[in-house]
Amino acid sequence: MVFVSEIFLFYFLPLVLLVAYFLRRKSVILYLGWLSVASVVFYSWETPFYFLLIVFCVLSNWFLTSRMHQSQDATLRRSLFLGVLILNVGMLIFFKYTKFLATNFNQLTGVFGIQLFDPAFGVGRFINNIVFPLGISFYTFHLLSYAIDLYVKKITPARTFIEFVCYVTFFPQLVAGPIVRYSEIQKDLGRPETNHVNIQAGTVFFIIGLAKKALIADSLAPFVNCVFDGGGTGSGLLTLLGTVAYAFQIYFDFSGYSEMAVGMGLMLGIKLPQNFNSPYKSKSVTEFWRRWHMTLSFWFRDYLFFPLSMRYLSAGNTELNRYLPVLIVMVLIGFWHGAGWTFFMFGLIYGIALIAEDVLIFRKKKKTSAITQIWFWCVMLSAYILFRSTDLKAAGGVFHTIFFNLLNKSFFHDVKSLPLDALIGGALIAPVAWMVLFQKNVYEMDKRLTLSKAILLSVLFIVSVYFLLARDYIPFLYFQF
């Protein structure tokens, strides 16, 4: 089930909220139990296989982490911890990267005329048929953070099995984050505050998130698709505008999703962490990664960058030891988004840019400025070209068009041949740029409802739903990751 569907907005969510508010007065366990059942139904609604998958994930992780926590024997504790890590990372690799690895292996052995994993039969066919389950990149990261935090004794274990199930499966954050750490919601799970302050704030978050997706991201999509798909355009300027539009589309799509999730969390008394903090106001790439998909970048920082850096720098305070962990982490962040070389390059570009900024700006104690802001936009747009392109060749074509045909005559011709919805998308770039660069984000707004705000939000909700239902369904972009 997806947030932007009729069944979710008009049947599932109202029913979940009504029953939840009724049960909240009875007991917390019943409340969490109901949310867990609703979450599993939400996840496996269209694909029953997901039911088995999520049940397996929850049960195996609960069993292993509970045993690990209870164990007095350090060796057993460590073995169980390694078991949980292998289980979750293994699941992610199996579902997300096996096909990519097999294809690359085939290309490598193809040099000698051998194709080891023939997609037509045997193991190759099995690998070719692996289907990527929705949300697995997100919930395996929840589970990993739980296991690690429990192992290093940063958290105490979930008080009950139901609480653990609810932590992992809680439907607002299950399929596309925010990536939640248990410590962030442990208190709320023990005592969910479903008061009017939270419900009001949650409604504001939810409607603004919905509007970001329905009115802005989906309106930019036709323009972006015209520029990137089906042969694209020969105009460099139009391609550049398409890349800018994509930057806005992905931000409004993903931050819209995250804010709907945060909103529903608040309505249910569970405060999910902030995922975006006006990322395009950043004046450097470094600042951008503190503001963009924050729960992912902080996850990698805390669980991978810090330990790797500690290990490397303990061995010697050299430039290599300082910067190698950044490259490793950024490449892994790239690969986290997808199994492909475009994602590898996406991560590599960001890794190199972060190192360059540390060397040229931050270690020299220089201030960020309009110039560093332009540099940040160049890096970000280059990374988005890789992110959006199907393969490196296509990305190369886009770069070539932008650099060598920036001001050629095909611009006017190509604009004239754009369909109306794409033209509207293109025209939105300027007002959307003004919004992301100069306007407050939803976290900075006063979320107490007045009559005029309530009317405005109601209109926004109705218009957003109208647009969602009138248009063909455009999936949330981050579902593919």
Partner 1 sequence: MEQSIVERAQNVFRDIFSNPALSITPSTTAKDIEGWDSFTHITLILAMEREFKVKFGLGELQSLTSVGDLLTLIEKKNA
Interacting residues toward partner 1 by CB under 8 A:
148-149, 152-154, 286, 301-303, 305-307, 309-310, 313-314, 317, 322, 326, 358, 362, 365
Question: Do 24 and 192 contact (CB within 8 A), yes or no?
Answer: yes
Separation of alpha carbons 178 and 258, rounded Å: 6
The amino acid sitting at 36 is: S
Shortest CB 376 distance to partner 1, Å: 16
Nearer to partner 1, 21 or 298 (CB): 298
The amino acid sitting at 100 is: F
Question: Do 245 and 421 contact (CB within 8 A), yes or no?
Answer: no
Separation of alpha carbons 174 and 237, rounded Å: 39
Nearer to partner 1, 17 or 85 (CB): 85
Q: Which residue is listed with tokens 């303990």?
A: 314
Q: Quick one: 118 exposed, middle or buried, by C-beta within 10 A (0-12, 13-18, 19+)?
A: middle
Question: Do 476 and 12 contact (CB within 8 A), yes or no?
Answer: no
CA angle, residues 402, 223, 475, in degrees to nearest 5: 120
Nearer to partner 1, 363 or 409 (CB): 363
Task: Kindly list the catalytic residues.
Answer: 337
Separation of alpha carbons 396 and 400, rounded Å: 6
Our separate counts of H helices and E strands in the chain read 24, 0
Nearer to partner 1, 357 or 414 (CB): 357
Nearer to partner 1, 313 or 454 (CB): 313
Shortest CB 290 distance to partner 1, Å: 9
Nearer to partner 1, 134 or 155 (CB): 155
Cα 417 vs. chain centroid, distance in angstroms? 34
Shortest CB 304 distance to partner 1, Å: 10
Shortest CB 313 distance to partner 1, Å: 6
Shortest CB 374 distance to partner 1, Å: 22
Closest CA to 234 of 379, 109, 404: 404
Shortest CB 83 distance to partner 1, Å: 18
The Cβ of residue 3 has, within 10 Å, a number of other Cβ atoms equal to 25
Shortest CB 453 distance to partner 1, Å: 31
Closest CA to 180 of 199, 213, 204, 155: 155
Nearer to partner 1, 18 or 313 (CB): 313
Which residues have C-beta within 8 Å of that of residue 90, sequence separation ≥ 6?
none
